[in-house]
């Protein structure tokens, strides 16, 4: 690195990691054996870091050295700003932790691609501008057609996103989720916090970021605010998860829908109650007043399960990796390209070493 801009980028990434760790500049300096003034200069990009300082700083921040050195990929989804210096704010800390989770997940996916065991699908790209709610709904219908979904329920959202060219990790991260694209690789993380319906909406929202492109792109209208863009992607996500015409088909031309029917649809499509109500209103089978009234009382889990005949409907209810990614991890282990320990790490706890197939020779880390 030789240009000032490069060192400014290093300083910004160091600040992101520091805020994620909940450290002040003085505390980081103490851990790394540097004065606070040096930390200030490094973060501002006016002071370079030598090799020994880099080792001490990455150790103090508990991040890989290449996190500080490598350019941060373009993050598509909206995240809280970490510009403010108040490292004690939860917003700044959570934003930094989300950054680190995204970059770590990207590197895991890239490792498998470089080992030639993972081959990403071509990314879906919106065929037209998305500058209105109608366009957002049309895009959701287009994605469904491209992936052969029709109007049926999506069984596995992480598998769907993988087919669309985006690898989604459901894991322990703050907030709701975020996504990024680095050259030809698209990844997203979704928080396991909150109810499964909300997680599915978050995953669908992040897929919307991928399909439409950068939130600052003209694909979403150069005059639209960030909030407006996010709102359009929420519409896309809702229509992707639960097409509006599902409600009209159920009503068979009738003007209204019963609460039990909405419960059955929400359960079958595994959406949140509020999303199902919004879609029913849009379909014209539920009044705005009924939506407000029904929204005051969310159905119980037993009501949802009764609507499904008590059949299990698991998706995004635990830490999860995409199926193609999981197969790639096992293939890399079978080839001896990664150790059993690394395979377990890459699977994010979905398996243990004892779950790995037997009869495979001991592997050696390359």
Delimit the domains of the chain by residue range: 4-72, 99-241+300-366, 245-299
pLDDT given for residue 361 in this prediction:
44
The residues, ordered by sequence, that sit 6+ positions from 137 with a Cβ below 8 Å of its Cβ are: 235, 236, 239, 244
DSSP at 71: P
Confidence label for 319 from pLDDT (cuts 50, 70 and 90): confident
Arithmetic mean of pLDDT, 104-116 = 93
Arithmetic mean of pLDDT, 302-308 = 85
CA distance 222 to 47: 37
CA dihedral sign of residues 105, 106, 107, 111:
positive
Arithmetic mean of pLDDT, 7-21 = 83
Of 336, 338, 344, nearest in space to 361 by CA: 336
User: What does the mean pLDDT of the chain come to?
Assistant: 84
More confident residue, 271 or 98: 271
CA distance 197 to 230: 18
pLDDT given for residue 79 in this prediction:
41
Q: What residue ranges in 99-215 does DSSP mark as E strands? A: 166-171, 177-182, 185-191
Helix, strand, coil % in the chain, rounded to nearest 5: 55, 5, 40
Q: Do domains 4-72 and 99-241+300-366 have the same CATH topology?
A: no
Of 125, 144, 131, nearest in space to 246 by CA: 144
Residue 80 has pLDDT above 60, yes or no: no
Residue 87 has pLDDT above 50, yes or no: no
pLDDT given for residue 283 in this prediction:
93
Fold (topology level) of 4-72: 434 Repressor (Amino-terminal Domain) (1.10.260)
CA distance 38 to 44: 10
CA distance 254 to 276: 18
Arithmetic mean of pLDDT, 186-202 = 89
Which pair of tokens denotes residue 239?
């229509």
For the structural domain made of 99-241+300-366, what CATH number should be given?
1.10.10.2910
* Dihedral pair phi/psi, residue 224, rounded to 5°: -80, 140
Confidence label for 7 from pLDDT (cuts 50, 70 and 90): confident
pTM: 0.80
Arithmetic mean of pLDDT, 41-64 = 88
DSSP at 176: S
Arithmetic mean of pLDDT, 253-278 = 89
pLDDT given for residue 253 in this prediction:
62
């Amino acid at each position: 690195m030789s240009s000032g801009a490069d060192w400014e980028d290093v300083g910004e990434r160091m600040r992101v990691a520091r805020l994620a760790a909940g450290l002040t500049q003085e505390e980081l300096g103490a851990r790394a054996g540097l004065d606070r003034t040096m930390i200030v200069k490094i973060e501002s990009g006016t002071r370079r870091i030598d090799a020994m300082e880099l080792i001490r700083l990455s150790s103090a921040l508990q991040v890989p050295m290449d996190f500080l050195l490598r350019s941060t990929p373009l993050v598509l989804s909206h995240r809280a700003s970490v510009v403010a210096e108040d490292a004690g704010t939860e917003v700044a800390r959570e934003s930094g932790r989300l950054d680190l989770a995204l970059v770590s997940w990207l590197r895991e996916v890239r490792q498998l691609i470089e080992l030639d065991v993972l081959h990403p699908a071509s990314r879906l790209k919106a065929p037209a501008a998305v500058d209105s709610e109608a366009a957002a709904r049309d895009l959701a219908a287009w994605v469904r057609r491209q992936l052969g979904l029709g109007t049926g329920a999506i069984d596995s959202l992480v598998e769907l996103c993988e087919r669309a060219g985006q690898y989604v990790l459901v894991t322990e991260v703050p907030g709701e989720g975020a996504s990024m694209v680095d050259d030809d690789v698209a990844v997203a993380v979704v928080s396991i916090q909150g109810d499964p319906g909300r997680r599915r909406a978050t995953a669908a929202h992040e897929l919307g970021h991928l399909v439409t492109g950068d939130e600052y792109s003209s694909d979403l209208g150069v005059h639209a605010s960030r909030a407006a863009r996010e709102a359009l992607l929420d519409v896309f996500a809702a229509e992707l998860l639960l097409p509006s015409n599902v409600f009209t088909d159920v009503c068979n031309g009738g003007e209204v829908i019963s609460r039990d029917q909405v419960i059955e649809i929400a359960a079958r499509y595994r959406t949140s109650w509020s999303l199902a109500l919004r879609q029913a209103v849009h379909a014209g089978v539920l009044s705005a007043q009924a939506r407000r009234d029904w929204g005051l009382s969310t159905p119980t889990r037993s009501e949802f399960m009764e609507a499904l005949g008590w059949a299990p409907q698991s998706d995004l209810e635990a830490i999860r990796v995409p199926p193609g990614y999981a197969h790639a991890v096992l293939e890399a282990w079978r080839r001896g390209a990664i150790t059993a320990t690394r395979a377990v790490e890459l699977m994010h706890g979905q398996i243990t070493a004892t779950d790995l197939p037997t009869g495979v020779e001991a592997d050696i880390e390359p």
